[in-house]
Structure 1
Amino acid sequence: MEKNRIIKIISMITGFTLIFIGQSMMYGKAHVWPGALFFLLSFIPFFVVLKADKGAELIGALPFLKDISEKPVRNEIIGFVIFFIAAAYFRFHNLDTVPLGSFRDEGKAAKDAMDIIRNVIPHGADSTLPIYIRAITDNPALYNFFMGALFPIVGEGIVGARAATAVGGLLAAVSFYFLIRYMFGWRAAVLGGLLFAVGSYPVIYSRLVYHASFAMLPYMFTMFFALKVYNERKLPDFILLGLSMGLAIQTYQAARIIPFAYAAMLAVCVFTDRGFIKANFKQLLITLSVLMLVLLPLIIYIFENLNSYMMRPGGLFLFSEQNHRHWTSVNPVLTYLESLKRAVFMYNHRGGISMVLGNFDSVPMVDFLSGIFAAAGFMLLLTGLFLGNARSFFFLGMFFIFIQGSALFIEAPHATRGVMAMPMVFIFAAAAIAALSKVFYENAGKISKFIFLLIAGILLLIIAVDNYERIFERFGKHKLAYRSFEAEKREAAEYVVNLGDNWQAIMTPFFMHGERGETPDVMIVFMNKGKDNYEKITLGHNFPVNPKPGMNYIYILERDYFTMLDALQAYYPGGERIEFKEKYNKENVTSFIAYKVPYEEAVKGMSYKPERGLTVSYYTGADCGTGELLDERIEPIIFQDWAFYPKNIRFFTACWDGKIRIDTAGRYFFDVKTGENKQLFIDNKLILTGNQSRAEVVLSKGMHDIHASFRNNGSLWFCLWWVKPNTGSLELVPMDNFYPKK
């Protein structure tokens, strides 16, 4: 007996030592396989310890012995309170600044929720109470209803949406705690729960306003009730399993895998435990009935909108024809295996690089020490699977199925698409903690137990500090955080709101609609404050502006439009220029510029006659000089989206003529950002036409003739950018370089 205890302790320590060596060799390093080899070598000592344990009871045998209703002891109550406080703190701390701003998907999700509670049809939805919302998020609307229900308590806007998401994340953490308690007992629940409470991956996905973040809560319920169904086989658990599955499927696209995952587990029971299916066939039919009932509205939507429902996953599927450029090999099998490797090892080797996915600098998604426990748990379960442990098969199988959400789609490792596999990683860690604590508590003396608890406490403190630094310093204050989360939009909107109602904001397209024309972040700020004193810049309408009595104006310029400043200063020389810098970027990068124009200055600007710019003529005909001449004037720049049409005629041709001054000889790139109905001539040479949107030309220093034309068919826009030699930056061609025709 004594010899058996020593074997267990030494084998367990040896296994964890090999995992530690492997983690050290792969964590954030260039190559994964040297470290993975040491992971695999841990199979040997883990096999010895589980074999000595007679039945792999260290990682749990079925049926389970733990019960959720087991009366907690004093130490568990203390541990749970610590866990809950840690989980709440990490999810709600600095919600308004970590991360800065909001990614476009966050803005869209929050705006959709705000529309729903206002009885407005969200963009991409079919009703005021939508089942599914298309547009840029393409997900069921359950998450939006959840946020909307909490808005009266937590407030609206991005911060309110983050608070609602954090509530869901906190509930998911509590659910994880009781799931681990049910499987491994309260010690593993406290220790493993604390890893989940402070881990950067689950914490960040409890703060980002993503449908994927909300998916964790009902998904935890499905696992809990699935285990109770198999263990206790009570009718209420079968009903609650169907209910939780139905809700979970309506959270995020990756959650569509859930029914297939549980169907696969049930199929395995046909071969391993057919008696379970025979004895509970009616109850399983009830589970299916409840599931279908909950999913009925979504099923009807799918039948009516199948192409729309499948469009996004089809577009991201790794093996879609349009995604062959993402292949790492001409062999599709090797391409998949490489994608699978990246997805599986994003926790211990290298994560992604996208800030908006909770990644930065390819840092693994799990901290170093938690990654050791996760890898150890994975290897213990793998060893248990070899020994016939049913629980091992369940969790390893679920992990493999859910990691396909990242592996089968482009851009692996992708933390959001692989989010359904994330709880499994922390379950692995909890399994390792359970096995380790069981070995020490059953085979060591009081002093050894005390040392174990002391070491566990120190490690948890290190993990908490490490994750705090990862989340709130390295991620939250990363130099790319400001730009990645488009923080300038929220900052600009809040700045305008704070100026008061006698200031009207005139904004360039990025602030109005985002990088892809679909982000409502600015709108959310104004909606949340009950304001609407902002509009899109339109030449001839609000530049120059015809001021309303007593109204002041502020132009908000994004990076590509900084060259508009010389035109603004020409019209409004008494205006005030204010530069806003990117936070946390030591390179002193200007994020946007505000140009304030008081009412009196705006009045003076009405009488300004520009000496620079191009002469523009508007005709009703399809070509320059044809049809009726609607208007002719000097415009300081070529920047039009014609929110207001000349003489209210929707279809017309605009023609710009004059000179362009070239200060530096070399190769210039001209970009119009539109695909048709235009021509651009320089020195009577056609350089851009048809469906071209970009062209290059070598120009000498000095004055050159320029002519541009564009046929507006009712909804298009036309602007002229350039990239000057040796700069690489796209900017609007400034007024100072244009001269009207004489």
Structure 2
Amino acid sequence: MALFLRVYQINTFPNGCQSDECNNGMDALKWLNGRLYTPYAETNEGQATLFTYLIAFMFKLAGVGITQMRLVSAIVATLSLLAFYFLARELFDWHIALPTTALFAVSRWHLTFSRIVYELIMVPLVESLLFLFLIRAVRYGRRRDWAWTGLMLALGMNTYTAFRIVPFVVGIFLLYWLITHWQRWRETIEGSLVMAAGGIVGVAPLGVYIIQHWAVFIGRTRHISVFNDIENAGGSLKPLWDNLDKVLWSFHWRGDLAALNNLPGAPLLDVVVGALVILGLAYMLRHLWRPLPFLSFTWIIIVGSVVVLSVAHEAPTAPPHRPAARHLPVGGPGPGSCLGCLPDRVAVARRRTGAPRAATAGDPAFPARPAGVGAVRRRGQRRHLLQQAGQGPVGLARGQRAGGRDRRLSA
């Protein structure tokens, strides 16, 4: 259904081909015609080329055309839903993951950008995978999860310009994790080194380009900075405060007026998701010391700053929705935190009334019990039962029966 919503009449809606879309298609044709590989190009004031190479691959398979280009966006967007579901399931359980992913699947902004040829549509996919592996890394401590986290960071650097702020979010969270889980400092530092190694390997081609063409790589960031407006205003901070005002209103009241990005003037969030995001934000602030609320709140502040610090002329009457569209992992954990805290609140009410507490599959404040601990505990209990029962045939059988009961109770 999600794919259908993104490909239905994709050759008609939206109509025509916007300039950035055409530029991406022209780059794809260059790659097909034998242009030497480069991880970054000066197209559209500078952008990574991964997305245009995917377009070139689609041209190779299905021919050249606007529909083929937009199919790349639609497929990537649909994969984002799958990745986001696994992220939400890791954080909570499938009961929460399904409705949260469904809300994401029908969100207007994601449907809009999944039908046009902008490289930013890759960011929700990469960010969902990045935080999935990061959460699994700190929760279970497996090196492969740390390595995948680093590779996802490197992959993200090859997607969209504004992704460059994401490593700061990861760094702040790992510092928080190191302080609050100091007993596991050795494991965290070792994992961070594995993550860094994976990131360096993955970003190596882009890193070489950055060293050789720093001015090109940083050019767009300088061009779209709000500090240009501040300078033109004689040092006044009014452009910055205007941007902040637009951002705060855009989510629930008045959004982007550009028809290509949004229904002109419509808020970024609908009524249901908007209410859940507010409740989720309240929950984050109430439990800010917990890992997930801390990560989500840090994400809101740092990633939101990208929108506030963007130059205003791209959308004179509203904040640029292209950077704002990167708020997927916030839009998910916001409603998810709200929905996910319900089992926890029910459990608290049960304890207050003396009712037995039911086990819940997920808690918004990860980490959960590391994988394998339950099995180790059951083996230890079984050995204890065997020691109590004795080592004779009768005692052994008695111990095995008791161990079986214990396994069933703890399963």
1:404 to 284, 287, 305: 305
Aligned mates of 1:423, 1:354 — CA distance in 2: 24
Task: Determine helix, strand or coil for the equivalent of 2:269.
Answer: coil
Per-residue displacement from partner, 1:638-669 (whole Å, max 9, x unpaired)? xxxxxxxxxxxxxxxxxxxxxxxxxxxxxxxx
2:158 pairs with 1:250: yes
Map of 1:110 onto structure 2: 25
Return the match for 1:340 from 244, 247, 255.
244
Deviation at 1:195, TM superposition (A): 0.3
Aligned match of 2:392: none
Residue 369 of structure 1 corresponds to: 272
1:398 deviates by 1.1
Cα deviation, residue 107, structure 1: 1.0
Partner of 2:254: 350
Q: CA deviation at 1:345?
A: 3.8
Q: CA deviation at 1:351?
A: 0.9
1:61 maps to what in 2? none
CA shift for structure 1 position 222: 0.6
Counterpart Cα distance in 2 of 1:143 and 1:181:
28
Q: Which has the higher contact order (CA 8 A, sep 6+)?
A: 2
Would the aligned equivalents of 1:166 and 1:207 in 2 still touch at CA under 8 Å? yes
SS at match of 1:207: coil
Cα shift at 1:426: 2.6
Is residue 290 from structure 1 mapped to residue 193 from structure 2 by the alignment? Answer: no
Deviation digits for residues 390-423 of structure 1, max 9, x if unmatched?
Answer: 2111111012111122111112511112232233
1:94 is aligned to 9
Give yes or no for contact 2:138–2:188 (8 Å, CA) kept in 1: no
1:129 aligns with 2:37: yes
Change (3 A) 1:307 1:169: same
**Which residue of structure 2 lines up, in the alignment, with residue 394 of structure 1?**
295
Q: Is the 8 A contact 1:154 1:164 kept in 2?
A: no
What SS class does the counterpart of residue 37 from structure 2 fall into? Answer: coil
- 1:184 equivalent in structure 2: 92
Verify: 1:199 aligned to 2:107, yes or no. yes
Amino acid at match of 1:201: W
Q: Which has the higher helix share?
A: 2
Would you say 1:304 and 2:212 are equivalent positions? Answer: yes
* Residue 148 of structure 1, CA deviation: 2.1
1:270, CA displacement in angstroms? Answer: 4.2
Matched residue SS, 1:352: coil
* Whole-angstrom CA distance in 1 between matches of 2:70 and 2:299: 29
> Against the structure 1 CA distance between its residues 117 and 378, is the aligned structure 2 distance closer, same or farther, given a 3 Å change threshold?
same
Aligned residue in 1 for 2:335: 429
Q: Which consecutive residues of structure 2, in runs of 5 or more, have no partner in the other structure?
A: 313-317, 351-411
> How far apart are the structure 2 equivalents of 1:284 and 1:423?
22
Which residue in the other structure is 2:320 paired with?
414
Compute the displacement of 1:268 (Å): 2.7
Inter-CA distance 216–114: structure 2 relative to 1 (3 Å threshold): farther
SS of match in other structure, 2:287: helix
Tell me, yes or no, if the aligned pair for 2:45 and 2:220 is still in contact at 8 Å. no
Q: Shift in Å at residue 360 of structure 1?
A: 3.1
Gap change, CA 1:234 and 1:343, over 3 Å in 2 = same
For the 8 Å contact 1:347–1:364, the answer to whether it is kept is: yes
Alignment of 1:474-489 (within 5 A): none
Q: Distance in 2 between matches of 1:275 and 1:344?
A: 39
Q: CA contact under 8 A between 2:230 and 2:236: conserved in structure 1?
A: no
- In structure 1, the partner of 2:70 is 162
Identify if the C-alpha distance between structure 1 residues 270 and 232 changes in structure 2 by more than 3 Å, giving closer, same or farther.
closer
The one-letter code matched in structure 2 to 1:418 is A
TM-score normalised to structure 2 length? 0.78
Give the AA of the match of 2:332.
F
Match of residue 57 from structure 1:
none
Q: In the aligned structure 1, how far is the partner of 2:343 from the partner of 2:103?
A: 15
Letter in 2 for 1:336: L
Secondary structure in structure 2 of the residue aligned to 1:403? helix
Cα shift readout 1:189-212 (whole Å, capped 9, x = no counterpart): 110110011111122122221111
- Alpha carbons of 1:251 and 1:232: their partners in 2 closer, same or farther (altered >3 Å)? same
Structure 1 pair 438–272 and aligned structure 2 pair: CA distance change class (3 A): closer
**Would the alpha carbon gap of residues 430 and 270 (structure 1) be closer, same or farther in structure 2, given more than 3 Å must change?**
closer
Deviation at 1:443, TM superposition (A): 6.7
Name the CA distance, whole Å, in 2 between partners of 1:137 and 1:319.
18
CA shift, 1:150, in A, is 3.0
Deviations 1:476-499 (A, max 9, x none): xxxxxxxxxxxxxxxxxxxxxxxx
Q: Please list, as runs of the form range in 1=range in 2, the aligned pairs for 1:308-327 lying within 5 A after superposition.
A: 308-320=216-228, 324-325=231-232
How far apart are 1:114 and its partner, in Å?
Answer: 2.6
Between the aligned partners of 1:420 and 1:301, the Cα distance in structure 2 is 25
Cα deviation, 1:439-479, whole Å, max 9, x if unaligned, reads: 569979xxxxxxxxxxxxxxxxxxxxxxxxxxxxxxxxxxx
Unaligned runs of 5+ in 1: 1-84, 122-127, 445-742
Amino acid at match of 2:82: V
Q: CA deviation at 1:117?
A: 2.2
Cα distance in 2, alignment partners of residues 337 and 391 from structure 1? 29
- C-alpha distance in structure 2 between counterparts of 1:195 and 1:226, whole Å: 23
Contact 2:178-2:188 at 8 Å conserved across structures: no
**DSSP-derived class of the 2:323 partner:** coil
* Structure-1 separation of matches of 2:93 and 2:294: 20
Question: In 2, Cα distance between the equivalents of 1:173 and 1:225?
Answer: 16
Judging changes above 3 Å, is the alpha-carbon distance between structure 1 residues 426 and 338 closer, same or farther for their aligned structure 2 residues? farther
What CA distance in whole angstroms lies between the structure 2 residues aligned with 1:314 and 1:160? Answer: 33
Which piece of structure 1 moves more, 224-233 or 406-415?
406-415
| SS at 2:278 equivalent | helix
1:592-625 residue CA offsets vs partner (Å, 9 max, x unmatched): xxxxxxxxxxxxxxxxxxxxxxxxxxxxxxxxxx
SS in structure 2 of the partner of residue 182 of structure 1: helix
**Segment of structure 1 superposing worse, 92-101 or 266-275:** 266-275
2:76 corresponds to 1:173: no
Question: How do 1:546-625 residues align onto structure 2 when only pairs under 5 Å count?
Answer: none
Aligned to 2:189: 281
Distance 1:256 1:222 in 2: 14
Aligned to 1:382: 285
Local SS of the residue matching 1:363:
coil
Post-superposition offset of 1:254: 0.3
Deviation at 1:361, TM superposition (A): 2.4
Report the Cα distance in structure 2 between the residues aligned to 1:271 and 1:440, rounded to whole angstroms. Answer: 30
1:140 corresponds to: 48
How is 1:634-649 mapped onto 2 (pairs within 5 angstroms)?
Answer: none
Matched-pair contact (CA < 8 Å) for 1:351–1:365 = yes
Identity, in percent, stands at: 21
2: CA distance between counterparts of 1:299 and 1:196?
33
Distance in structure 2 (CA, Å) of the matches to 1:438 and 1:272: 22
Deviation per CA, 1:510-530: give whole Å up to 9, x if none.
xxxxxxxxxxxxxxxxxxxxx
- Counterpart-to-counterpart distance in 2, 1:316 and 1:225: 31
**Offset at residue 91 of structure 1 (A):** 1.4
Q: SS at the partner of 1:258? A: helix
